[in-house]
Amino acid sequence: MNYIKDTITLSGRLIKHNLRSLDTIITVVAMPVMILLGMVYLFGGSMQIDGLPHSQYVSYILPGILLITIATGSAYTALRINIDKTNGMFDRFRSMPISKSAVLSGHVLSSVIFMLTSTAIVLGVGFLIGFRTDASPLEWVLILLLIIGFAIMVTWLSVPFALAAKSIDGASSFSYLILALLFVSSAFAPTDNMPTALASFAKHQPMTNVISTIRDLFASNNVGNDGWLSIIWLVGITLISWWLGTRIYNKV
C-alpha cells in the first residue's frame, strides 16, 4: 500500500510541474494539433490513397498523430527524470521513508496520465475537423488499451536514456528516434508507395503495426496479424526498458 500511495504522491508532484510549464503544454498538445491540421488542410488534397476520399484523409492519419502526441510527451518525461538525477532529488528520495521503486513509478504514472490527456485533446480536434469512426464499444476499449500500452512503452523506454544521459539535451533527444520511426511508417501514407528498401523497413517496424491496428479498429475492420505483433512489440520493449531502467537507477 505504501508503494501505491508513494507512487500517486510523487506522480502528483510531476503533474503539477507539467501544468505549470507553458513550453510543455505547447509542445505536447499544440504541436500535434498543428501537425494534424497541416497534414489535413495542406497536404490532404494531394494524397492519393486507394479507396479513400480526400475528405477522409483525417481518418487515415489520426492514429499516427495520436502516437506522435505520445512520443513528444516522452521527451519531457526523460527531461524530468534527468533533472531529478542531476539536481540530487534521487538522493533526497532515498533518504526519505518512501518506497524506492515508487520514484520511477511516479514518473511513469504522471507521464502516462499527461500523455492520455493530450491524446484525448488531439482526438477531440480530429472529430471537429471530420474524423469519423465505425468502432464498436469493444473496439474503443481495445483502442484505449493500445494507446495506454504505447504510452507505457514509450515512457519506460525513456527511463534508461534519461538516467544514462549526461545532460538534459541528451536525455530528451531519444524522442527523435521514436518520431523518426513514426514518420517512416504508414502514419501518413501507405508503405507500398515507398522505395523498396524503405517500404520493407516501414512494414516490419513496431510503429506501423500499432498504427495499422488502431486504424483497423477505428474502421471496425479485422486487425489480422498486426494486432498480435503490436502486443508483442509493446510488451517486449516495455519489459526490456523496465529492466534496463531499474538497473541503471539502482546504480546512480
What are 83-134's pLDDT values in tens digits? 888 888 777 877 777 787 888 888 899 889 989 999 999 999 999 998 989 8
55 Cβ neighbours under 8 A, 6+ residues apart: 130
164 Cβ neighbours under 8 A, 6+ residues apart: 248
d(CA 28, CA 92): 29
Q: Please say if the pLDDT value at position 217 is more than 60.
A: yes
Q: What is the DSSP string of the chain?
A: -HHHHHHHHHHHHHHHHHHH-HHHHIIIIIHHHHHHHHIIIIIGGG---TT--GGGHHHHHHHHHHHHHHHHHHHHHHHHHHHHHHTTHHHHHHTSSS-TTHHHHHHHHHHHHHHHHHHHHHHHHHHHTT------HHHHHHHHHHHHHHHHHHHHHHHHHHHH-SSHHHHHTTHHHHHHHHHTTTSSS-GGGS-HHHHHHHHTSHHHHHHHHHHHHHTT---THHHHHHHHHHHHHHHHHHHHHHHHHHH-
Q: Please say if the pLDDT value at position 45 is more than 70.
A: no
| Amino acid residing at 193 | N
d(CA 226, CA 210): 7
pLDDT (mean) for 22-31: 78
d(CA 181, CA 189): 14
According to the model, what pLDDT value does residue 53 have? Answer: 61
According to the model, what pLDDT value does residue 192 have? Answer: 82
Decide which of 189 and 207 is more confident: 207
Decide which of 15 and 24 is more confident: 15
According to the model, what pLDDT value does residue 209 have? Answer: 94
pLDDT band at 250; cut points 50, 70, 90: confident
Chain mean pLDDT for the chain: 86
According to the model, what pLDDT value does residue 215 have? Answer: 94
According to the model, what pLDDT value does residue 51 have? Answer: 63
Please give the grid coordinates belonging to residue 76. 519531457
Q: Please say if the pLDDT value at position 183 is more than 70.
A: yes
According to the model, what pLDDT value does residue 48 have? Answer: 66
Share of the chain above pLDDT 90, in %: 36
d(CA 54, CA 126): 15
Angle of helix 206-218 versus helix 57-86 axis, rounded to 10: 130
Decide which of 183 and 52 is more confident: 183
Q: Quick count: other Cβ atoms within 10 Å of Cβ 226? A: 20
Please give the grid coordinates belonging to residue 147. 494507446
Q: Left (φ > 0), alpha (ψ -120 to 50) or beta: where does 140 sit?
A: alpha
CA dihedral 75, 76, 82, 86 (to 10 degrees): 140
